[in-house]
Structure 1
Amino acid sequence: MSKPVIYGLLLLIMMIWGFNVIAIKVLVEYFAPVTITAFRILTAGIVVMLFLGVKREFRRVSRQQLVYVTVGALTGILGHHYFLASGLTITSASNTGLILGLVPLMTSIFAIFFLRDRLTILKFLGILLGLTGVSFIVLNGTDGIGSISKGDFYIFCSVITQAISFIYIKKATKTMDPLLITGWMQVIGALFLFTVSFQMEPKGISSLSEGNLWVWGVFFASAILATGIGHMFYNKAIHQLGAGETAIFINLTPFFSLTGSYLFLDETIALPQLLGFIFIVAGVVLGTGALENKQKTFWRANKSVFKKSS
């Protein structure tokens, strides 16, 4: 697959992921949030497992791999999606999309502490910019500037739990295919979510009868396109382009979330949100090392040219 094709498909995936925030917002307003999230993740996991089965790449996991996958499922599926669904019931889709844009930056922060990644000046500046951006959003609660929105705080917790899961996914990828990790995590994580939903939402299953055909269409689009196929292709793009180059496209998801919430949910885009968007995107570009990686790649590609000119 050529680079222009991969770039085009990545752009499409980022648009789907951005609009997926709007889809989840719709779903949690119609159904019990944790229950419908468990069904959505399980559906995505089944899609991934079927894909692996067709390609004959399905594998059992070892005990050590199961530990990494289980911790990843507890944080990246149970923790992330529980806070995401709960937060979306009391905050806007636009705020959610912006805060979720911090995931690459938070992953970079945890990698510095747990994977001993190097903290450079640009990364430190990026961390400050990103956290400043999210403060514009989280501290602009319903009671005015300075009040913390509970829903936004939940979304921020979902970012932290997903970033933690990426650390364990990174460890698991040393011996497992990323696609296999994704499938196992989604299936195991969905079982965790079902367990929580039975305790928190005793009538959660009965709430599924409240949806109409249009809402179930949104459900399957979110589960299959965004959560299932979207993650499969993103993992493939990481394999072909590298994590740094692929991660740059993540910056587009907050833009599509803002656009989608304005177009489909009639949400108002306020000045603090726009400022937060600018700071978060700048923070992610610097904090994840994407800019440094681009500079290194450019220097290596043109090293001989610079030597001749000097």
Structure 2
Amino acid sequence: MNPSGLTLAYLCAVMNALIMGFSFLFTKIALEFAEPLDTLTFRFAASFAVMSVPVLLGRVRLNYRGKKLRKVLLLATLYPLGFFTLQSYGLQHATSGEGGILFAFTPVLTVLLAFLFLKETTTLPQKLSICLSVGGVLFIIIMKGSGIDWSNMKGIILLFLSCLAVAGYSVFARRLLKSFSPAEITYVMLGIAFLCFLAASLAGHATAGTLDRLFAPLASGSFIAAILYLGILSTLVTALSSNYALSRIEASKMSVFSNLSTIVSIAAGALLLGEEVRTYHIAGSALIIAGVMGTNLLGKKSKRHVPNTNRAKAG
């Protein structure tokens, strides 16, 4: 294992949590001007367009010749297509608090799937650390007064499936990174997501006779700023960095970093919205950090990272 490559992988994982923590604020801003499906369309349009520039200029070289591209298409159905679709419909029947509770269990699902499909094993201290991190998130959410209303079974099932889609993506992506570079996987994912969400958005507006409203949000500078953050940072950068991290560290170790976004959301709310930080926020954050550190420090000696002889070359 190249120490510098491993360090960069962990930095990417932490950066993802930071970006995702602020994404909730920008999503709220975007949804003030556009419907969820339109927001997703513009979000992935921005990310795909930005990545297409260095690809077309030859600065990032992609090589799909002789590779099983259908596997990357299948990966895209898990994330972003599966995750965002299931989450959007799930939140129509459940609360955001219920979504946060269920999403906290994503690292647990990832550990199970990584064991079944990648034969990744975790030590008992690692398992306890993952539970500690999940417990920190649950503690914060429950102390805020959120819980699960089991009468909303349709929404709960859809939200659970969205978490399963993310866990499946982490596991499947790690396997595909043996033959694809992070850039090659990311570019196909973004392109497929953009085309699918655009088609769905156009169909919806055409049916409702509201095609003129599709581009109306672009008249707002706040909407454009939110979309640029969500599309470039929260989609493109996180996709590239997470795929890079998954090529070098186990899926089970990578997944637990997602819980750090809860801490970032708390800090963002306090700094930008003036929200109060309570004692339970601090206690829960401490549990999350301890869990993330335990998961990544208390395991067995790391094995050699996933070999990849097809890295994207920069010209």
- State the TM-score, normalizing by the size of structure 1: 0.71
Q: RMSD between aligned alpha carbons?
A: 4.2
Return the match for 2:172 from 158, 168, 182.
Answer: 168
Return the match for 2:46 from 33, 43, 47.
Answer: 43
Aligned residue number for residue 29 of structure 1: 32
Report the Cα offset of residue 231 of structure 1. 3.2
1:75 aligns with 2:81: no
Report the Cα offset of residue 112 of structure 1. 1.3
**Does the Cα contact within 8 Å between 2:270 and 2:277 map onto a contact in 1?**
yes
Equivalences, count? 290
Secondary structure of 1:116's counterpart equals coil
Return the match for 2:149 from 147, 150, 163.
Answer: 147
1:19 aligns with 2:25: no
Aligned residue number for residue 219 of structure 1: 227
Return the match for 2:296 from 283, 290, 296.
Answer: 290
Return the match for 2:181 from 159, 172, 177.
Answer: 177
**Does the Cα contact within 8 Å between 1:77 and 1:189 map onto a contact in 2?**
yes
1:191 aligns with 2:195: yes
Report the Cα offset of residue 70 of structure 1. 1.6
Return the match for 1:259 from 267, 285, 299.
Answer: 267
Segments of structure 2 that go 5 or more residues without pairing to the other structure are: 303-315
Deviations 1:228-257 (A, max 9, x none): 134334545666x75588777655322111
**Does the Cα contact within 8 Å between 1:248 and 1:290 map onto a contact in 2?**
no
1:232 aligns with 2:240: yes
Return the match for 2:162 from 155, 158, 165.
Answer: 158
Report the Cα offset of residue 21 of structure 1. 2.1
Secondary structure of 2:63's counterpart equals coil
Identical aligned residues as a percent: 23
| Cα distance in structure 1, aligned partners of 2:285 and 2:158 | 18
Deviations 1:87-120 (A, max 9, x none): 677755x886786565444322310122222243
Aligned residue number for residue 209 of structure 1: 216
Segments of structure 1 that go 5 or more residues without pairing to the other structure are: 298-310
The within-5 A match list for 1:78-93 is 78-85=81-88, 91=95
Structure 1 stretch 174-183 or stretch 152-161: which is displaced more? 152-161
- State the TM-score, normalizing by the size of structure 2: 0.70
C-alpha spacing 1:153/1:215, structure 2 compared with 1 (3 Å): farther
Structure number with higher helix proportion: 1
C-alpha spacing 1:234/1:41, structure 2 compared with 1 (3 Å): same
**Does the Cα contact within 8 Å between 2:133 and 2:290 map onto a contact in 1?**
yes
**Does the Cα contact within 8 Å between 2:12 and 2:242 map onto a contact in 1?**
no
1:108 aligns with 2:111: yes
**Does the Cα contact within 8 Å between 1:104 and 1:284 map onto a contact in 2?**
no
Return the match for 1:120 from 120, 123, 136.
Answer: 123
Aligned residue number for residue 303 of structure 1: none
Deviations 1:123-170 (A, max 9, x none): 43245445545554676797x656359678765543321111122212
Structure 1 stretch 117-126 or stretch 153-162: which is displaced more? 153-162
Deviations 1:71-90 (A, max 9, x none): 21111111212244456777
